[in-house]
Chains A and B, each alone.
Chain A
Amino acid sequence: MRTWLGVLGRACIEFLLIVILLSATAGAMLSLDTGIKNFPAYMARAAIDLIPLAVSLTLFLAFFDFELRIRSRIAGWLGLLILGSLLMAGGIQLRRMDFIKESLPAPVATAETPRPSPPGLSSTKAGITLWYRAMENGDVLDAVAVDFGSDYPRMAYSSRSFFDPASGLVDIGGRTYDAARPVPKPIRLVPEASVFAGAWIWDRLAAMDREPILLVLAAAGGFILLALGFRFLCRITSWPLANAVLAAAGFVGIVVLDAALSGGAASKAIAGIARELGLSLQPVLLLACLEGAVGLLLGLADLAAAPRRERISDE
């Protein structure tokens, strides 16, 4: 029992470290888009938003600890279920405390007014390079534009042109050019997410803040059971290192699978099958049931599998 509690405690510490790392990354990404000065507030906000991700990551790390130290697989399963449920429920409850959310600013992309590109330095946008010497009373001086995408000759010059602060455009030789400072390309950690129509588990749970708590817990529970079902990855081969690497890839796969099932054609297909079976449940509950069922089946298969010969005793 002491070992079992020890593993749970260690997992809770790992959870805290994971939350800090994830929220720092997300806070940095959000503050890059909307303003560096908001980094601490965004980090705190992201810490609440990303709890579901941190919980699932903690569960995957805990798979190995339970596998190593707890001989009873049922005790291991129970420990993981309790760990996941407690952390997830705590996270959901934290999200639903209005005063916390109200005290943290939500990251909102502000439509900034165009700023002119720095004087004396060329800037290139859509194949057009623009340079000007200085700015004086709202005019750009000695502006040179070269449209490399057009036929030769391409150079246009104006000794003084009005910079329109509303549009960021300047008129050079009868043609308008974009003289606004180029906006850096936003960084997305998972740009591949755009290929499917679904939403990440943490985004879906965040969107359910005003929904009944049982519905939210059901959605979260389905995801946790699905994650727990993949515990078999921690002993799929006799080489623990290979298992760890496969589990890392499996974790990415589960998060993506959950998101893919939550939207688009997959969501419609699940709803269609449910209708055929006479189940009239909400889409959220349908998905939770499906994920929970898959997780439980995989978990039962894992429990039924013969233990390894070199099984390690916990004491």
Chain B
Amino acid sequence: MSSGRRIVAATALIDALAILAFFAFAAASYSPARVIPSLAMKWEWSEAFLGFFRWLAGLQFLALAVSIGSNEGRTEDLVQGAILPAIVLSALLSAAALVAVPPLEASRSSALAASASFNGSLDAARRNLASGDLELSRAELAVCQAVSGKDPRVKDLDSRLQAAEIKAKKEALKPAEREAPAPKDPVAAKDYYLKALAFFDKGDFFAANWYASTAMKLDPSYTDARRLAAKAWDRMQSKGPDPADVERAAFYSKKLEGYGLLRAGDPVGAYRVFKELANAKHGDDPDVRRYLAEALAGTEKSAFFKDEAEKPLASAYVSDAFIRVPEARAAKGGSGAASNDEAASPIEAAPHSAVASGAAPVRILAAKRASLSGGALYFSELEYLEAGSSGLRALVRTPYAKLAGGKLFLVCVERDRPSEVRKPTWATGPVSGPASLVELSLEPEAAFKALSSRSAPASLSAIEAWKAAVEAPRYGIDPAPLVGDLLDRSSLPFGVFTASALGALAGGRFRKKGPFSGGLYALVPIMAAALVPVFMLASRVDELISAWSAAVAPALASLAVAAGIRTLVLFVAVMLVAGARNERGATFDR
């Protein structure tokens, strides 16, 4: 076999074995407490390939050394024959590493994050079930279901929770709650009575009954209303002895309630009512369909649904998110005009401010988690702060938030249980505009990339990382970790090429005299193990080059310094290979 073919075959074989070995190691070190079973395979393969790329330079050294060191012929011929395949292989593997490592890092991080989220929520759900807090337990279980609904632990807990919920419902039905009397309001009662009259005249006895009954509730002494309600009820009854009329009346009154809320500018409340009706087998009613759609559209303009946020925030997220809204893009609105309100502790309001000294207002977003999904950026445990000329202008906190279309939505609704609404708490502000959202001209994708560059720079592609390093200061993010990551990445191609050159040199210099016995290949695993400390030491020297370059040159210029030092090392290695020849006594195979 020619020198070139041997190199390709040895590289393919050693790399494949290395990937399998790393996979076996990942499988052996797997623990369900760290990674949930449904993500185990994803995590193991990510670990295997990341390990392979991390040790790529060492593997290239071994492959080149073994393929040349077990070949026959003159050293210079072997080394010359190795040049082209070594260069092509090194270039291909380096390119593969640069392209594949960021998605692999992202995959591994997301598997770990989702597992941490799953395990945390499963523990919390169990704890809450044991303590009898079924609602919280259900909420935590929903997070687990969003991550891995098929997990047997989730199914088991779900059935236990369902049983507890049924039991709790039965117990709740026993003591019938008495409705609290509504406050007396004769003026409103009169209005409702007049509406009832109008409906009665039109022959709409259901509506007349509902409005008259409402007037009666508002003013129990209103005898006309009582009379009209009874009259409308009689007329309904007189139309035919239909036992479904009572149900129809209740349905109608509910529909009117939803309509009233919708017209009063409460789409979230209206959505809750119409959703209940749709769920109660009235989904075919044209009014319900129409107003549910209208309420949904209205809700989506001022709030968002929790299920949109739940899955991304449980699986692929950035934790401990902190970002400054860039000045130029933040100029659009903010949460309103300046406020002189004193903020609650630990917020200090003081006369000195950003704008007073000529600086742009400060807008900061911080959240426990942030996740990008469907073009929107979702947050959990969000805090938003805005400081202007009079000190603190706005400070709001909300359990869930969504950034999309230039707005930061602060109200979150449960789609299937619309009565569950998570609302923001304003410590300061808003002075103008609705309390349910903040106008914020911040691109979700750009913001998420900035957040990722802060917490997981390795998951960004090389181009994205470069752009992020340039953009980071605008978002209040220190570019140093990004530059450090770029320094590490840029070392890989140099490392692979240098290792290939040194491997060829070692293989050429330490070749066996005479025919090569196939049994000697059994030594290759031992050689690989023996090279581990040497490779680790070389890796640390490489890290030192990165750190030293970062210390001597500012930000991105350090990449040029590191590249210069590594090029010098590569040059020396290539010179040594170029000088390899079959000189007398230089090899074992004279």
* Chain A residues within 8 Å of B, Cβ to Cβ: 3, 25, 28-29, 31-32, 36, 64, 68-69, 117-118, 120-124, 127, 129, 131, 133-134, 136, 141-142, 144, 146, 148, 152-160, 172-175, 184, 187-190, 237-246, 248-249, 252, 310, 312, 314
Contacts and interface: CB of A to CB of B under 8 A. Distances in A.
Contacts of A157: 343, 346-348, 385, 387, 392, 395
Given A144-B364, A148-B368, 5 more contacts: A136-B357, A146-B320, A160-B350, A241-B511, A248-B531
Nearest to A234: B510
Interface in B334-367: 343, 345-354, 357, 359, 362, 364, 366
A32 B544 contact: yes
Nearest to B351: A159
A242 B349 CA distance: 71
User: Which 7 A-B residue pairings sit nearest by Cβ, starting from the closest?
Assistant: A173-B346, A249-B530, A241-B69, A159-B350, A240-B510, A241-B510, A148-B320
Nearest to B546: A187
A241 B66 contact: yes
Nearest to B553: A36
Given A141-B357, A157-B348, A159-B348, A122 B322 contact: yes
Interface in B516-550: 516-517, 520, 523, 526-527, 529-534, 537, 540-541, 543-545, 547-548
B362 A32 contact: no
Given A142-B353, A242-B526, A244-B510, A32 B551 contact: yes
Contact of A144 (B343, B385, B533): B385
Summarize B's interface: helix, strand, loop or mixed. Answer: mixed
Nearest to A156: B346
B479 to A, nearest CB: 8
B406 interface: no
B227 interface: no
A78 to B, nearest CB: 19
Summarize A's interface: helix, strand, loop or mixed. Answer: mixed
23 contacts: A3-B585, A32-B544, A69-B585, A124-B322, A129-B322, A131-B364, A133-B359, A134-B359, A142-B353, A142-B359, A142-B387, A144-B366, A146-B366, A146-B383, A154-B381, A155-B383, A159-B349, A159-B391, A189-B540, A239-B523, A240-B69, A242-B526, A248-B531
A198 B162 CA distance: 62
A153 B537 CA distance: 45
Contacts of A187: 540, 543-544, 547
Interface stretch (B28-36, B142-150, B470-478): B470-478
B-side interface size class: 35 or more
Contacts of A174: 345-346
Interface string B51-91: 00000000000000110011000000000000000000000
Contact of B520 (A136, A242, A245): A242
Nearest to A235: B588
B590 interface: yes
Contacts of B506: 241, 244
Nearest to A121: B478
Given A133-B354, A157-B347, A157-B348, A122 B478 contact: yes
Contacts of B547: 32, 184, 187
Nearest to A26: B544
B14 to A, nearest CB: 14
Nearest to B520: A239
